[in-house]
Structures are given as structure tokens and as C-alpha cells.
């Protein structure tokens, strides 16, 4: 292992780009054949990765980088995000870099709060009686 932190620098540049909703710049840090292992499954290729991350940037309100560690080939980012449907959505990424590009990302986040936010409300509307009322 060397003292280089090139992977960390690339990871932070990518994070800064996507959290500022600059998807073109964010994607410039990836190899065309990038592989991402995420909670929903494997994502292969830069087009699929953009389709995965792009919608999230549209609901992102802000992000806070908690930690960034790395060497010449591997970086780990840990952060909190605040989104329209989920006010506290922490995440982590373990990124592998080769030839100056991200070639693999192990993306870690909890999908459950997002699934719950999409679930229709079971609460009655203002014009509907509650189930315990006649």
C-alpha cells in the first residue's frame, strides 16, 4: 500500500458533483463499464449507473459528508442525506479506482424508509370518517 490518496480525491470529487446535482461531472469520474452493487442489486455500465443515481439527485435537498478515507485504489465515503420523502437517509460507498476512474462501487443505504414514503397513507382524509367513527 502506498501513501497516495488518489481514490479518496476522486471519490470526494464525485460526491461533490452528484450532491450538487451535476450528473455530467459526476459521471466523468466513472469507467464506462463501472459495476455497482447496491441494495436493489447489481448495476452494470455508466448509463445504468446514471439511471440509478439521477432520480435520487432530483429529490436530494442536501448532504453532509461525515467521513472520507482512502488510498491509491479504494475509498470509503460515509454521509447523511436529506431528501424530499425521507428527512434522514444515511449512506456509504466503497469505491474502487483504476486508471483514474471509478470501476466499482459498493453502495450501502437503507431502502425501507424510501419504500415506506412511497406507500399510500392509510390515514383518512379530512372528508373521510375514521374507521372508529360512525
Q: Partners of 42 in the beta sheet? A: 37
- Residue-wise pLDDT tens for the chain (134 aa)? 445 899 999 999 999 999 999 999 999 999 999 999 999 899 999 999 999 999 999 999 999 999 999 999 999 999 999 999 988 899 999 999 999 999 999 999 987 777 788 888 665 555 554 444 44
* 70 vs 96: CA distance, rounded Å: 10
Nearest Cα to Cα of residue 106 among 37, 15, 35: 37
| pTM (two decimals) | 0.83
Instruction: Tell me the Cα Rg of the chain.
Output: 18
Q: Residue ranges of the domains in the chain?
A: 6-110
The fold of 6-110 is Nuclear Transport Factor 2; Chain: A, (3.10.450)
Q: Are 44 and 105 in contact (CB under 8 A)?
A: no
Amino acid at each position: 500500500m502506498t501513501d497516495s490518496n488518489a481514490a479518496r480525491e476522486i471519490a470526494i470529487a464525485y460526491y461533490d458533483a452528484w450532491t450538487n446535482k451535476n450528473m455530467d461531472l459526476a459521471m466523468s469520474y466513472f469507467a464506462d463499464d463501472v459495476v455497482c452493487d447496491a441494495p436493489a442489486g447489481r448495476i452494470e455500465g455508466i448509463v445504468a449507473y446514471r439511471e440509478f443515481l439521477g432520480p435520487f439527485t432530483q429529490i436530494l435537498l442536501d448532504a453532509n459528508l461525515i467521513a472520507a478515507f482512502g488510498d491509491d485504489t479504494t475509498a470509503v465515503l460515509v454521509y447523511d442525506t436529506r431528501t424530499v420523502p425521507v428527512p434522514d437517509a444515511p449512506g456509504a460507498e466503497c469505491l474502487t479506482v483504476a486508471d483514474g476512474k471509478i470501476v466499482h462501487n459498493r453502495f450501502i443505504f437503507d431502502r425501507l424508509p424510501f419504500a415506506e414514503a412511497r406507500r399510500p397513507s392509510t390515514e383518512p382524509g379530512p372528508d373521510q370518517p375514521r374507521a372508529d367513527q360512525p
